[in-house]
Chains A and B, each alone.
Chain A
Amino acid sequence: MSESAPILEINKINKYFPGVRALFNVDFRLFKGEVHTIMGQNGAGKSTLVKVLTGVHKHDSGEMLLEGKSIRPDSPLAAQKLGISTVYQEINLCPNLSVAENIFVGRQPMKLGRIDWKELNHRAEEALSRLHISIDVTQLLSSYSIAIQQMVAIVRVLDVSSKILVLDEPTSSLDETEVEQLFKVIRKLRDDGLAILFITHFLDQTYRISDRITILRNGELVGEFKTEALPKLELIAKMLGKELSEFSYDITGGESRKEITGADREAKNLLQVKELGLRGRIAPFSLDLDEGEVLGLAGLLGSGRTEMARLIFGIEVANRGEIHVRGKKKDINAPRAAMLAGMGFCSEDRKNEGVFSELTVRENIILALQGARGIFRYIPKKKQLEIADELIKSLDIKTPSANNEAGQLSGGNQQKLMLARWLATNPFILILDEPTRGIDVGAKVEVMELVLNLSRQGMGVIFISSEFEELIRCSTKIAVLKDKEKIAELSGEEMSESGIMHAIAGGK
């Protein structure tokens, strides 16, 4: 790597948020004429690094050198003036203005105190044609596809002084042909000598577009690699923080779930999902869930696990496909419909989508059951207390009493509280989205044991976790997702960390 000096050099940068170390001694380099991708799991520090670079956050220590000069932008505007142009994930444009207006808003060419429309449109056309895009710039922005809008956003932030272009998840709402369109533009800009920093969750896209990859994990730098020198499998291993050699042995010592599947082939089918999909959220997928099965959903963050769960539970409504519960076709168009069909769902976002912190533990537990019964078939207080006390005892929820506010419980106990809410409704299908996230190790084990117990009693469980180890321990089969698509289903011997890794990497 004997290139010229990097245009951007970040040395030993640190950033702390209250109670969190977001970046720890991170180094980063960016060269002219290359596309550099930052990769990492959720919370790895990708977005913090970008925000420090673009002036949204200020770093606590370390230095940033732009063309050898130390910089410390204190606002996005300051960063833009330094030549760091950023296109954020959500397009910050006005759909009700024309393309040309969007490009030049705030810096319109003026003539005699009025906007020079001719000049404005002309310049807009010129700017777009540099990227080989020819469209009618006087049309409303909203009349064009998201991909074109994305490019307009790029053109807007680029000007003569731009040295670095930061693209934050630009492809998340694009379809395949649109992505290719965008990549063409990115390659063109790269060849013109721009330094491009690209952030994405999509593995395949990383390999298609980037020249160099930097991996972060838990706020620390894992390493910087030339794309061609980093096999996909190794990239995944580094993102997750496992040595490649670790994948070569299977966890056979741990509790294996194979006995259950093998023993009872008579098990009745609980849930059958046929080609369920929603454009822009997740590609059509099919699933089967029998009595006593635990179906694990594996994949990297943003791979579509949550979308899958939400589609099944009717939080988002599929625009194609069918759901059959116990052999009967069900029209699941709302969580209520899913609940009445016999499902329960614990969201990954406990705080905003699960726990009612100002209601009592008893009310939190009883709510879904009461919801199923409706307003008038009121469960008397005494009965409520009985149900709550029983679940508090069987799930070992640590609370002074059933009448304490749920907000006072610890994360692990709140998680169990949500499980209790659904168990009270006596579902036969339970969907758990990251039930082990953000709770301590002891609680994790308890939650997993609970999942195993429920499945032994015949419940069908869909279990989402970022920890492959947990999935393997709990699941009877594992569906693997990548880039919003179900790509494989593993069972039996294939269920191993290396098996999942290989499936995600796309090669066996």
Chain B
Amino acid sequence: MLKALNRSKILWPLVALAILLLFNLFFTPNFFRMEIMEGHLFGNLIDIIKNAAPIMLLAIGLTLVIATHGIDISVGSVVAISAGVVAMLIGGDLEGNTRFPIAFAMAVALLVCTTAGMWNGMLVSRIGMQPIVATLILFVAGRGIAMVTTNAMVIWLYAEPFAYLGQGYLLGLPFSIYIVVFLLLATFLATRKTALGMFIEAVGINPTATRFAGINSKNILFGVYAFSGFCAGVSGLIVCSTVMSADGNNAGNLFELDAILAVVLGGTSLNGGRFFLLGSMVGALIIQTLTTTIYAFNVPPEISQVVKALVVYGVSLLQSDRLQVALAGVLGRREAA
């Protein structure tokens, strides 16, 4: 069991998360307290998952991109585009009247974001641009596009039904959690119950050999970037719905870094190859738990980033092969190679 866990790479992220939670158990009063109010669950744990949802969604798409030995740093900007488009189409009417139906607005936002992802995919797969350069373009331009959609202002939304996405509850749990689980499950099935996952890993490990094996690696690359754009779109809808506003400048700002970190913490290597969707989710939870802990401890804001960095450093160290070999040696259960 332990061996299987170790091979799937989920062990160490889980250990890190457990340590963080254990720390809180002892040092943060009421950290694990749950209350039921009006049939909804409330508490720090629920908040962590709820707040982590946008990053988790980004991490799902990014996991596949990173598995192909790529990167997508434009996702934060695409979040802003998604929020901007949906807010523009719903409109800031104080009475809560919508300019277009909410479902239509959401569909258009997702379409725009997927197109943005396709643009990245086109640059990487057809033109052969380096992924970081290709997505840097949208990283910069995306903010501009988002500003255009919101007319360089913050749009406030008053259409109540739209708030359900980010603030609503279903069966006692925040609705956004269901979205994450649904997308995660769908992605898992699409990659592991078809050949897609293997093809993605093959492209990440050895693109030439993949091509020689008769696989159209360009289409695979194109697809993962498009999907990453879609995921960023979903994430943007939730971000917008949570705060009921769209801010082209700040929505999704620096999300790409947290999302990349979540994927890496989850065990997927930036060198491409094997990917671990569940690991990425745990990675996102680690990041959010950390943030919540720092708030709960009233760590002065001027050093909170340093604390965060130190913990991330520790988790990364836990995952390094060398340290693991050393640890395993100490624990005396080193597997024969």
Q: Which residues of A contact B199 (CB under 8 A)?
A: 370-371, 375
Instruction: Determine, out of A35-43, A184-192, A335-343, the stretch whose residues face the partner at the interface.
Output: A335-343
Contact of A493 with B by CB under 8 A: no
Assess the B194–A356 pair: CB atoms within 8 A.
Answer: no
Assess the A352–B206 pair: CB atoms within 8 A.
Answer: yes
Among residues of A, the one whose C-beta sits closest to the C-beta of B337 is A408
CA gap between A336 and B220 in the complex, in Å: 14
Q: Which residues of B contact A425 (CB under 8 A)?
A: 214
Assess the A345–B212 pair: CB atoms within 8 A.
Answer: yes
Among A338, A354, A378, which residue has its beta carbon within 8 angstroms of that of B193? A378
Closest 7 CB pairs of A and B: A339-B214, A371-B215, A371-B214, A368-B213, A336-B214, A370-B195, A378-B194
Give the number of A-B contacts (CB < 8 Å). Answer: 78
Given that A358-B205, A359-B201, A375-B199 are contacting pairs, would A368 and B194 also be in contact in the complex, using a CB cutoff of 8 Å? no
Contact of A355 with B by CB under 8 A: yes
Measured CB to CB, the closest approach of chain A to B128, in angstroms, equals 16
CA gap between A324 and B202 in the complex, in Å: 31
Contact of A373 with B by CB under 8 A: yes
CA gap between A334 and B217 in the complex, in Å: 12
28 CB contacts below 8 A, A to B, read A313-B212, A315-B212, A334-B211, A334-B216, A335-B211, A336-B216, A345-B212, A347-B212, A352-B208, A353-B206, A354-B209, A355-B209, A356-B201, A356-B205, A358-B273, A359-B205, A363-B201, A367-B210, A367-B213, A367-B215, A368-B213, A371-B213, A371-B215, A374-B195, A375-B196, A376-B194, A378-B193, A379-B195
Contact count band on B = 20 to 34
Assess the B198–A367 pair: CB atoms within 8 A.
Answer: yes
Given that A353-B208, A358-B205 are contacting pairs, would A421 and B198 also be in contact in the complex, using a CB cutoff of 8 Å? no
Binding site for B on A (CB under 8 A): 313, 315, 334-336, 338-340, 345, 347, 352-359, 363, 366-368, 370-376, 378-379, 421, 425
> 14 additional contacts, CB 8 Å, given A353-B206, A358-B273, A372-B214?
A313-B212, A334-B216, A336-B214, A338-B214, A355-B206, A358-B201, A359-B198, A363-B202, A367-B202, A370-B195, A371-B213, A373-B195, A375-B196, A376-B195
Assess the B214–A356 pair: CB atoms within 8 A.
Answer: no
Q: Mark B170-204, 1 if CB is under 8 A from A, else 0.
A: 00000000000000000000000111101101100
Q: Mark B123-158, 1 if CB is under 8 A from A, else 0.
A: 000000000000000000000000000000000000
Binding site for A on B (CB under 8 A): 193-196, 198-199, 201-202, 205-206, 208-216, 273-274
CA gap between A124 and B215 in the complex, in Å: 51
Q: Which residues of B contact A357 (CB under 8 A)?
A: 205
Among residues of A, the one whose C-beta sits closest to the C-beta of B215 is A371
Q: Which residues of B contact A375 (CB under 8 A)?
A: 194-196, 199
Q: Which of B194, B208, B213 has the most CB of A within 10 A?
A: B213
Assess the A335–B205 pair: CB atoms within 8 A.
Answer: no
Measured CB to CB, the closest approach of chain A to B195, in angstroms, equals 5
Measured CB to CB, the closest approach of chain A to B256, in angstroms, equals 26
Given that A374-B195, A375-B195, A378-B193 are contacting pairs, would A356 and B212 also be in contact in the complex, using a CB cutoff of 8 Å? no
Assess the A336–B205 pair: CB atoms within 8 A.
Answer: no
Assess the B209–A356 pair: CB atoms within 8 A.
Answer: yes
Among A335, A352, A376, which residue has its beta carbon within 8 angstroms of that of B214? A335
